[in-house]
């Protein structure tokens, strides 16, 4: 990276600033909206919030080490989390010998944390209706389609809707930023103290000492081999859906059925919907009563299910439906077309027995 210096006139500088104003105003608006949304979510009695972040890794050192030990020090990966529910806050810290802040690590850490959280929920009177994860939005860590798949996995496993909300970059400060610093300070203080100094040479040593010196935070140790084993057993990255424009979204919700709803920010009325080919949105009427032109339905043809729109009613038991097929992009659909003529194929008639259910109308993914 190189710092470039350019000389220009005050007028050109002023014009440059004016050109940047719309982008800056949009950023400030998202910052304020997301901050207000975070505060409002914490006040809701039926919402459980987990704010997460990575703290800076801890470099293992001890009081009487030789100078050359600097080159062989191991580091400890620290994943911090704070759980908010009904005005209470419980903090967590996961220590690991892994060096990777990637999708595999986050998946295993989140599943582990929520397993602990729901275990506590079952043993208490806590019964939140939905779960929200709050974090900042680095694409290499939290804001990517692998994290969407992660909350989809959690929603399906725990049978609850999961939402991931993002602060505006770089405004995601909170309780989690103090957890790692406080634990590292107390552990290092104990390590370097005269007389009862403790040697910490690995993540397991760090976690063991941290449990002794920090009582208010629940501390766990997860070794890298466990992360590798979990990913190998559960293979969570099969059929990961692409989410076009995900970098601009600050709210992503996944329900237990797999439907994905994305918004630019918490108050945005524009939604972008994605989902698996077997989901097709929520059923509006399982009995398919009162079908009419314009209704969207799920039909079955030769054992395959297709979403489509009713374009005419041919009788009390016959409906002409124009259907869509799945595109090359998993989870997205396109109108059936004749390959030679490159035109949309005419609809065909379906009986009421071939119509499985009504579905929500799809949302246009692109133009």
- Considering only 29-43, 86-100, 285-299, which range has the smallest mean pLDDT? 285-299
For residues 102-113, give the mean pLDDT. 95
Q: What is the C-alpha to C-alpha distance for residues 133 and 163, in angstroms, rounded to an integer?
A: 6
Q: Say which residue, 223 or 271, is predicted with more confidence.
A: 223
Using the predicted structure, report yes or no on whether residue 250 has a pLDDT greater than 60: yes
* Other Cβ atoms within 10 Å of 48 Cβ, number: 23
Inter-residue contact 117 to 50 (CB < 8 Å): yes
Best-predicted range by mean pLDDT (12-21, 97-106, 185-194, 345-354): 97-106
pLDDT at site 95: 96
Q: How far apart, in Å, are the Cα atoms of 282 and each of 40, 258, 285, 291?
A: 28, 10, 9, 16
Give the helix/strand (H/E) hosting 307.
strand 304-315
213: Cα within 13 Å, side-chain hemisphere: 18
The predicted-structure confidence for 144-195, as pLDDT tens digits, reads as follows 999 999 999 999 888 888 999 999 887 777 888 899 999 999 988 888 775 6
- The reported pLDDT for the residue numbered 195 is 60
The reported pLDDT for the residue numbered 123 is 66
The model's pTM = 0.71
Non-local CB neighbours of 98 within 8 Å, separated by 6+ positions: 77, 105, 222, 223, 224, 227
* Residue 131 vs residue 196, higher pLDDT: 131
Residue 258 pLDDT exceeds 50:
yes
| Helix and strand counts by DSSP (H, E) for the chain | 6, 17
Phi and psi of 211, rounded to 5°?
A: -60, -35
pLDDT tier, 339 (very low <50, low <70, confident <90, very high otherwise): very low
């Amino acid at each position: 990276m190189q710092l470039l210096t350019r000389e220009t006139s005050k007028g050109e500088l002023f014009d440059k600033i004016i050109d940047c104003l719309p982008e800056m105003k949009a950023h400030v608006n998202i910052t304020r909206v997301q901050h207000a949304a975070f505060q409002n979510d914490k006040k809701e009695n039926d919402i459980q919030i987990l704010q997460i972040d990575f703290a800076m890794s801890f470099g293992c050192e001890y009081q009487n080490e030789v100078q050359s030990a600097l080159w062989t020090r191991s580091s400890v990966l620290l994943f911090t989390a704070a759980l908010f529910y009904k005005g209470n806050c419980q903090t967590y810290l996961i220590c690991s010998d892994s060096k990777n802040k990637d999708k595999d690590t986050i998946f295993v850490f989140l599943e582990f944390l929520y397993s602990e959280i729901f275990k506590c929920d079952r043993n208490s009177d806590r019964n939140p209706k939905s779960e929200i994860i709050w974090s900042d939005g680095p694409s290499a860590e939290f804001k990517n389609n692998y994290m969407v798949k992660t909350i989809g996995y959690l929603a399906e496993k725990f049978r609850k809707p999961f939402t991931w909300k993002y602060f505006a970059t770089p405004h995601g400060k909170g309780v989690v930023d103090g957890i790692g610093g406080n634990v590292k300070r107390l552990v290092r203080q104990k390590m370097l103290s005269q007389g009862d100094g403790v040697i910490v040479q690995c993540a397991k040593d760090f976690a063991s000492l941290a449990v002794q010196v920090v009582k208010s935070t629940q501390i766990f140790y997860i070794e890298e081999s466990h992360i590798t084993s979990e990913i190998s057993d559960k293979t969570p990255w099969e059929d990961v859906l692409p989410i076009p424009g995900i970098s601009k979204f600050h709210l992503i919700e996944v329900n237990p059925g797999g439907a994905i709803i994305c918004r630019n920010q918490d108050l945005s009325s524009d939604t972008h919907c994605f989902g698996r080919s077997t989901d097709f949105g929520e059923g509006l009427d399982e009995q398919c009563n009162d079908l009419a032109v314009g209704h969207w339905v799920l039909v079955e043809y030769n054992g395959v299910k297709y979403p489509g729109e009713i374009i005419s009613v041919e009788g009390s038991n016959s409906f002409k439906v124009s259907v869509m097929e799945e595109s090359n992009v998993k989870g997205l659909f396109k109108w059936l077309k004749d390959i030679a003529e490159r035109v949309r194929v005419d609809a065909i008639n379906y009986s009421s027995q071939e119509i499985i259910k009504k579905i929500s109308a799809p949302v246009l993914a692109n133009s």
